[in-house]
C-alpha cells in the first residue's frame, strides 16, 4: 500500500508542483480543490480529488478518517484579499480548523506540513548585516503576512500535531502568474521600478520548494519552522537583468515615484470591484521593502537541503517553459 498524502491548494501554482513531486515520490495523492477550480492541468497525474469544508472541524475530521491520510501538506490560502478579516479567515482560521481535525482524527498521521511565508516574519532594514533567521522578531508589513503569522501561532497551540512550518520567500517558476507580469513587461521592452531605494531580495525556484516539502514529510523533524530560499541575496535589479539575459532582450529601465504608484494601486483596486488586482496597496508594502535576505542554515542542517537552482538557472528554465507554452 502506498502512503497517502492530502495536498490542499493543489490546483494552484505551488500546488501543481507539490502534486508532481508527490506522485514522483510514489505517494498516493489526494488533491483538495474547490468545486470551481480549474484542474485540467492536473489531469495527466494519477491522482484523486477531494473537496474540503474548511469551515467545519467535524466535517474535516470525517474526511481525514475516511481517507486515512499519512501526510498532510497544507498549501491552500489566499495572497490577495479585500481586508484583514478575509486574510485571517482563509489563511489562519481555516488552517487551524484543518490542523485541529488532523490532531483529533484517528489516522496514521506522520507529518503536517504548513506552507507559511517569509512575509510572516517580514523584512528588515537594508543596513542589517545578518539575514532574517527563524528566530528573527516577526514584523510583517502586510495583512497577508500577519495572517500567516497568526496561522503559525494557532498551529503552535495544537497538541499532538507532527508539525513542520516552511516559510518560502518569493516563489517563481513555471505556471506562476504574479512575477510573470514582470517577465511579460520586460518582453515588451519595459523595466519599471518603484522608487530608487536599494534592496536585498531573495527567491526560491518552485521545484526546490516542492522538493524540500517532500523532504519535510519524511524527516523525523517535528515542531520546527524553516525559512526557504536558494540561499543567496540579490540586488533589486538582478531579477530583471537575468530575465533580459534569458529572453535575449533589452528593456528601458525607469523608476516611478512611490506616491504615483500608490495612486495607481488605489485606482486599480477601485476599478477591479470585488477582485483584488495584482498591483494593490498591500503588495506595494512588500515590493518596496528594503531587505528580504534570509538564512537557510537551519534548513540545510536539519533537512539536509541543498538548492539545485539559483536565480539564473531557475529563470532560464522558467522562461523556456513560458515560451514553449505560449505565455511569452
Phi, psi of 306 (to 5 degrees): -130, 115
Q: How confident is the model over 262-287, as a mean pLDDT?
A: 87
Q: How confident is the model over 292-305, as a mean pLDDT?
A: 97
Q: How confident is the model over 280-305, as a mean pLDDT?
A: 94
275 pLDDT more than 90 = no
Instruction: Note the pLDDT tens digit of each residue in 173-190.
Output: 999 999 999 999 999 999
| Residue-level pLDDT at 225 | 98
| Residue-level pLDDT at 282 | 87
Residue 272 lies in a domain: no
99 pLDDT more than 90 = yes
CATH of the domain at 297: 3.40.50.720
Instruction: Note the pLDDT tens digit of each residue in 209-224.
Output: 999 999 999 999 999 9
279 pLDDT more than 90 = no
Q: CA torsion 154→156→158→164, rounded to 10°?
A: 110
| Residue-level pLDDT at 281 | 86
Residue of 262, 286, 289, 257 whose CA lies nearest to 192: 257
105 pLDDT more than 90 = yes
| Residue-level pLDDT at 143 | 96
Q: Which one is predicted more confidently, 8 or 281?
A: 8
Query: What range does the domain containing 163 cover?
Result: 4-176+203-231+293-309
303 pLDDT more than 90 = yes
Q: How confident is the model over 42-61, as a mean pLDDT?
A: 97
Query: How far from chain centre, in Å, is Cα 249?
Result: 29
Strand partners of residue 57: none
Q: Are strands 28-32 and 71-74 parallel, antiparallel or unpaired?
A: unpaired
| Residue-level pLDDT at 310 | 98
100 pLDDT more than 90 = yes
End-to-end C-alpha distance for the chain, whole angstroms:
42
C-alpha cell at 95: 488552517
Residue 166 lies in a domain: yes
Residue 280 lies in a domain: no
Q: How confident is the model over 55-76, as a mean pLDDT?
A: 98
Whole-structure pTM value: 0.95
**Three-class HEC string of the chain:** CCCEEEEECCCCHHHHHHHHHHHHCCCEEEEECCCCCCCHHHCCCCCEEECCCCCCHHHHHHHHHHHCCCEEEECCCCCCCCCHHHHHHHHHHHHHHHHHHHHHCCCCCCEEEEECCHHHCCCECCCCCCCECCCCCCCCCCHHHHHHHHHHHHHHCCCCCCEEEEEECEEECCCCCCHHHHHHHHHCCEEEEECCCCCEECEEEHHHHHHHHHHHHHCCCCCEEEEECCCCCEECCHHHHHHHHHHCCCCEEEEECHHHHHHHHHHHHHHHCCCCCCCCHHHHHHHCCCECCECCHHHHHHCCCCCCCCHHHHHHHHHHHHHHCCCC
Measured distance CA(127)–CA(77) in Å, rounded: 32
pLDDT band for position 272 (cuts 50, 70, 90): confident
Residue 303 lies in a domain: yes
Q: How many domains does the chain have?
A: 1
Residue 55 lies in a domain: yes
13 pLDDT more than 90 = yes
C-alpha cell at 303: 533537512
HSE (CB half, 13 Å, CA atoms) of 112? Answer: 25
| Residue-level pLDDT at 269 | 86
Average pLDDT over all residues of the chain: 96
HSE (CB half, 13 Å, CA atoms) of 264? Answer: 11
Residue 245 lies in a domain: no
Strand partners of residue 225: 165
Residue 210 lies in a domain: yes
273 pLDDT more than 90 = no
| Residue-level pLDDT at 11 | 96
42 pLDDT more than 90 = yes
Instruction: Note the pLDDT tens digit of each residue in 128-175.
Output: 989 999 999 999 999 999 999 999 999 999 999 999 999 999 999 999
Measured distance CA(263)–CA(278) in Å, rounded: 14
Angle at 191 between CA 185 and CA 192, to 5 degrees: 100
Residue 220 lies in a domain: yes
Amino acid at each position: 500500500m502506498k502512503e497517502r498524502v492530502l495536498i490542499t491548494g493543489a490546483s494552484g501554482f505551488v500546488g501543481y508542483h507539490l502534486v508532481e513531486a508527490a506522485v514522483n515520490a510514489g505517494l498516493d495523492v489526494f488533491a483538495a480543490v474547490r468545486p470551481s477550480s480549474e484542474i485540467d492541468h492536473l489531469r495527466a497525474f494519477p491522482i484523486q480529488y477531494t473537496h474540503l469544508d474548511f469551515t467545519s472541524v467535524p466535517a474535516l475530521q470525517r474526511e481525514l478518517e475516511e481517507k486515512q491520510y499519512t501526510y498532510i501538506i497544507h498549501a491552500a490560502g489566499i495572497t490577495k484579499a479585500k481586508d484583514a478579516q478575509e486574510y485571517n479567515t482563509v489563511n489562519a482560521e481555516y488552517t487551524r480548523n484543518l490542523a485541529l481535525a488532523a490532531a483529533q482524527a484517528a489516522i496514521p498521521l506522520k507529518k503536517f506540513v504548513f506552507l507559511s511565508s517569509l512575509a510572516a516574519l517580514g523584512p528588515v532594514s537594508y543596513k542589517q548585516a545578518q539575514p532574517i533567521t527563524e528566530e528573527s522578531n516577526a514584523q510583517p508589513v502586510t495583512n497577508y503576512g500577519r495572517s500567516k503569522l497568526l496561522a503559525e501561532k494557532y498551529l503552535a497551540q495544537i497538541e499532538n500535531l507532527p508539525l513542520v512550518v516552511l516559510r518560502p520567500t518569493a516563489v517563481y517558476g513555471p505556471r506562476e502568474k504574479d512575477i510573470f507580469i514582470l517577465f511579460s513587461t520586460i518582453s515588451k521592452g519595459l523595466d519599471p521600478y518603484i522608487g530608487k531605494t536599494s534592496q536585498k531580495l531573495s527567491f526560491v525556484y518552485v521545484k526546490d520548494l516542492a522538493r524540500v516539502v517532500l523532504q519535510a514529510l519524511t524527516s523525523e523533524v517535528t515542531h520546527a519552522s524553516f525559512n526557504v530560499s536558494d540561499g543567496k541575496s540579490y540586488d533589486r535589479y538582478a531579477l530583471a537583468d537575468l530575465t533580459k539575459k534569458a529572453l535575449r532582450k533589452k528593456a528601458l529601465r525607469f523608476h516611478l515615484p512611490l506616491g504615483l504608484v500608490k495612486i495607481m494601486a488605489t485606482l486599480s483596486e477601485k476599478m477591479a470591484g470585488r477582485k483584488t488586482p495584482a498591483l494593490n496597496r498591500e503588495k506595494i508594502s512588500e515590493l518596496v521593502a528594503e531587505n528580504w535576505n534570509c538564512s537557510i542554515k537551519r534548513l540545510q542542517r536539519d533537512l539536509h537541503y541543498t538548492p539545485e537552482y539559483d536565480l539564473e538557472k531557475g529563470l532560464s528554465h522558467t522562461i523556456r517553459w513560458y515560451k514553449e507554452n505560449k505565455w511569452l
